[in-house]
Chain A
């Protein structure tokens, strides 16, 4: 069981499948310095943070919401981050904090637009080629995996992030990411019927 505690207006979430959080980092890293600069109004520092963390936010959202909605939601998440940055107590926890905002934003999206979700998904599917239809099917299977596995696998397979990068951006421990990747990939193979081939 893992526990994720967030600052500001976010919730305290305790979930069975939630990935473990890395132990608090005591020394300032480069990202924390960027966070500090951004908190003091440095827009360039915030732009740098956006460039570094946008793929992670994109992957977190893609694991939960229709692909056609993800780009707008990424913008929403970073606007929220920009607005609430002063409420972040520990600059070293920026990655986990942003990831949690993204997860909450995805949940909020489903609460508010449950009726239109399918329509958007169908519309998005119509615009893709047959080759992309296979990708859509794989993505659909990915989304059926448990939350912790699906998020980590999307970041690895879609966003192209390595395990250490995923751990660094999301605030998860490397061990947790590694386990999630291994078990998630095993489940994905089973669901895609690739188990025999491997």
Chain B
């Protein structure tokens, strides 16, 4: 057996291998044309990517243009008859004790003034409404809508008086002198408080009337202290101040207005 012929066709031919080759040649591969689908080249791919990018930019530009055209003026309740919640005007807001508002100050504030209709509107329009009315929310939270500057100054003075009285030390006899001073100051503030409360009542400003009304008993207690109050008298008033948390309430309502007018 000639391995060289079997290996590479060289050397003396092996008759059996030759015969098998001749016999099996009928099965030999006959060249045929290969039909290939068009295969994208790198050049074509890059051109295709560029075209896609241009098309995307054109679509984006068109959408931006259309969005600008669709922007309509904010839709507000007064222009729309379909309103699910009443419009909250400054004079008609919270009927309860304003002092309670301090406990709820962490809650989400309710917007007042012009209110967006609750009927379906495109989301974009709602966002525009929210963007143009944030100052209304601030006014409600800080009490800007209910208290004028004069009232705010009064509330601040009352707050300082009550804070000073609450800090009176009963461990020494000095408290008598301090209480006497606070008593005189309280009478002055009390007169102003009565005027402002009646004024608020006349205007129907219930939040202001409620706050000034809750302040008045404490001012009266201090103003009506005896000439030489006992420790028990002072302690009782101090406890009432502490219990009502009136100092914090006064600060919440007066501070934003004072800060805005500084």
- A residues contacting B by CB (< 8 A) are 40-41, 43, 46-47, 50-51, 54-55, 58-59, 62, 67, 71, 74-75, 78-79, 82, 128, 132, 134-135, 138-139, 154, 156-160, 162-164, 178, 181-182, 185, 188-189, 194, 197-198
Contact = CB atoms under 8 A, between A and B. Distances in A.
Contacts of A62: 27
B17 A41 contact: no
A75 B31 CA distance: 11
A128 B26 CA distance: 10
Given A138-B24, A158-B27, A198-B16, A75 B32 contact: yes
B34 A162 contact: no
B77 to A, nearest CB: 63
Contact of A135 (B26, B29, B40): B26
Nearest to A156: B6
Contacts of A135: 23-24, 26-27
B150 interface: no
A43 B23 contact: no
Contacts of A178: 3, 7
24 contacts: A41-B41, A51-B31, A54-B31, A71-B32, A75-B34, A79-B36, A79-B37, A134-B23, A135-B23, A138-B20, A138-B23, A139-B27, A154-B24, A156-B6, A158-B24, A162-B7, A163-B7, A164-B8, A182-B6, A185-B6, A185-B17, A188-B20, A189-B16, A198-B1
A59 B7 contact: no
A162 B9 CA distance: 7
Contact of B24 (A128, A139, A181): A139
Interface of B: 1, 3, 6-9, 16-17, 20-21, 23-32, 34-37, 39-44
A61 B228 CA distance: 120
A12 B35 CA distance: 30
A164 B10 CA distance: 12
A181 B34 contact: no
A181 B6 contact: yes
Contacts of B29: 54-55, 58-59, 74, 159
Contacts of B35: 75
Classify the interface of chain A: helix, strand, loop or mixed.
Answer: helix
Contact of A43 (B6, B21, B36): B36
B28 to A, nearest CB: 6
A154 B6 CA distance: 12
Nearest to B36: A82
Nearest to B21: A157
A126 to B, nearest CB: 15
A134 B22 CA distance: 11
A62 B28 CA distance: 9
Contacts of B20: 138, 157, 188
Contacts of A160: 21, 25, 28
| Among all A-B residue pairs, the 3 with the closest Cβ atoms | A41-B41, A58-B29, A163-B7
A181 B43 CA distance: 46
A41 B6 contact: no
Nearest to A59: B29
Contacts of A55: 28-29
Given A43-B36, A74-B29, A158-B24, 6 more contacts: A46-B36, A71-B32, A82-B39, A138-B20, A162-B8, A182-B6
A167 to B, nearest CB: 10
